[in-house]
Chain A
Amino acid sequence: MDKSQNAGRAGYYLYMIPGMLGFILVVLVPLIANFAISFTTWKGGNIAPRYVGIENYQRLLADTVFWSSIQHTVLFIISMTIVPILLGLVLAAVLFDYISAQFSETWSSFFRAGFYLPQILPLTAAGVLWAWILNPVGIINAVLKGIGLDFLAKNWLGDASFALWAVSAVIVWVQVGYCLVVFMSGLARVDPSLYEAAELDNASWFGRFRYITIPMLMPEIFVVALTTLIAALKVFAPIYVLTSGGPDNATTVPSYLSYYHFFTTNRVGYAAAIATLQTVMTIVLGIAFLRMQSKQEGGR
């Protein structure tokens, strides 16, 4: 391969060729094609698409369901990004420098594995299980009625005022494990002497968490925040398996809308327009986030 040590930095570009080639073929070309499709009306299959200009976009901006789907996305950013990161940080810190120290490494590994399990379960299966738990005659309500709290038994997924929260709760359940595993692998990188020094200064556990753990984990926090943010903007599977966007579109999100038009109504052009807008939105937010990250890193 590359033996030219003095080729300067340029030589490193060679290493990016395979990755970039793959990217161009698998992501870039299809995205451009998708962008082109969004200016047509098309049923898919081998009937030729018909050019309609920006008609799809005009319709989309007038589609109230699309706008409400954007609103729901904002809530999912909280339940997929913010809450799991906070929970994950606290859990990781507790497991890493409290449970490990007070009990043993085995205990903390055991907990980590347990909390990570929901990530592993295929969402199709998770959806079925949660439907059992959350449906009106399901387990949560059976338990609530059993202990005499009938008034708390709600139609969790079937009532528009609760469905968004119920779905969010399931998403938190799925996401926490991912954050936890990344944070714990990051903590292993931290120099133990830092903690020892803090202990000598009699810093509380909380102080150590605030002044050592969080700053040291910044790279991981950024990675996790960006990826979960993107995942929140793209969230699809939990919605698909839990509510299909219901009840009465109360939980619909852009991904589900575009999927629905791609594969159900066969309005491929319209679906492509939704997907295009969604991609643009995600890229803009993603870049804004990366900017923030650069500033942060530069400031340190």
Chain B
Amino acid sequence: MNMFSKLAISAGMSLLLAAGVAQAQNKTFNVWWYELPDTPQAKAWTQALGELKAKHPDVTINFEQKTFEQLQKAGSLILNSDQAPDVLEYNKGNATAGLVASQGLLTPLDDEFKSRGWDKILSDTKTQLSKYDQNGIYGSGPMIGIPAYAEFVSVFYNVDMFQANGIKVPTTLEEFEAALDAFKKKGITPLAYGTVDSNGQHLLYTLALTQADDTWVKNYQGLKAALDTKPFLFAAQKIVDWVNKGYISKDSTGLKGTGGADNLFSSGKSPMFVSGTWNNGNFATNIKNFKWSQFVFPTPKYSTGSTGSMFMVPKSAKNKDLAEEFIGLVLSKENQNAQANLGGVAIAADPAAITDEVGKRNVEIFNQISDKGGLGFYPDWPVPGYYELLIQATTGLVNGSSTPDQFVARLKKAYDDVQAAQ
């Protein structure tokens, strides 16, 4: 008994101490993001926080490293409480930003966008995902988020293996398939692929976009009409063909893209990997024994990709002016160039000012895609829960448990249910 009561008392005391940690004063500026500390974004933003501190020595800056998962799962619950920060990084898209925007949990930034001159920095194509309407659909309504970096899906390729086998960078889908075939004939599985996470749907959507026009992308992403399945049927058929021809391994259904297929590429086993710019840091650091580069998957106009997650100011933020000042600093030329020089895909950098090879290449590719209006976004955005459904369905396609027709039927059912409810 004694032991218990002692323990209980000491536990109670420490609990009181823990609860008594300094309450936030007005002069504390709270910032959250979930980019990992070693990413170019996080490094550049930390720099911006330093500048902010220099301008406001009286303000205590309280930065918290968040987890993507926590904001993804509990974001709306947190933003709906009085624990929200002054500014935070939050995922773009209907199911995340759209949901909390439609719940009225964010501060509209339209006036600041003009008065602070951000409209000069970010063209319309770069702020498509900043506005959400009452149903949480992107494209119209108040502006609630400001992007500070970008991401896109391209083909990572092993330059040495291409040279060794006399293969050129393909510029059409036929050439791409010919390259796949040439590797296969040498006994190499050409594509690193994993369907356990988003990698599966990135390749699928990249293929679908080769068949897509402006209307299709607009309708698909904006839930404007029932699903036109033609592009997806084409993509599904291609993936099944590629599996049958051995361009893609059946083992893909047991691999993740991150922490699986990416290792097949970085260890030099597979010469190509269709994936996003978030791999850059990993590849730049860890690929030591061959030369690698990227090319855009051959497509008439659209590629998988978008502006990155955005900075948003919660409704309940106490220091909105500081939050906006911070966003301004992040968008500044210096900060954007710094991000690109760290290897990041900055959204408003000056390519001429970039010395880092990876950063330069990626900013150029991104500008090339976004200038022609070719950002096709991601396949899981229109429908909440589509991300998981696409993982399941794509896996079914690769392991043969569903045919391309069954595959698109599944996509269509889930899509049309949500679309009809609009």
Contacts and interface: CB of A to CB of B under 8 A. Distances in A.
The answer on A and B forming one complex is yes
Interface of A: 43-47, 131, 134-138, 155-160, 243-249, 260-261, 263-267
Residue from B99, B105, B252, B255 whose CB has the most chain A CB atoms within 10 Å: B255
Nearest to A265: B385
A46 B104 contact: yes
A147 to B, nearest CB: 19
Contact of A261 (B73, B260, B385, B393): B385
Contacts of B223: none
Contact of A135 (B77, B260, B392, B401): B260
A158 B102 contact: no
Contact of A248 (B95, B104, B251, B402): B402
B387 interface: yes
B401 A137 contact: no
Contacts of A158: 195-196, 251-255, 395, 399
A274 to B, nearest CB: 13
Given A135-B255, A137-B264, A264-B388, A247 B103 contact: no
A45 B393 CA distance: 30
Interface string B248-276: 01111111100110001000000000000
B80 interface: yes
A107 to B, nearest CB: 30
B328 interface: no
Residue from B95, B99, B254, B402 whose CB has the most chain A CB atoms within 10 Å: B254
**Interface of B: prevailing SS:** helix
A138 B396 CA distance: 21
A139 B291 CA distance: 28
Contacts of A43: 99, 102-103
B395 A246 contact: yes
Given A136-B254, A158-B195, A265-B384, A45 B395 contact: no
B76 interface: yes
B250 A155 contact: yes
B312 to A, nearest CB: 15
A248 B393 CA distance: 6
Contacts of B249: 136
Contacts of B254: 134-136, 138, 155-159, 247
Given A45-B76, A155-B254, A266-B99, A248 B395 contact: yes
Residue from A137, A156, A157, A245 whose CB has the most chain B CB atoms within 10 Å: A137
A240 B103 CA distance: 28
A247 B399 contact: yes
Contacts of A135: 254-256, 260
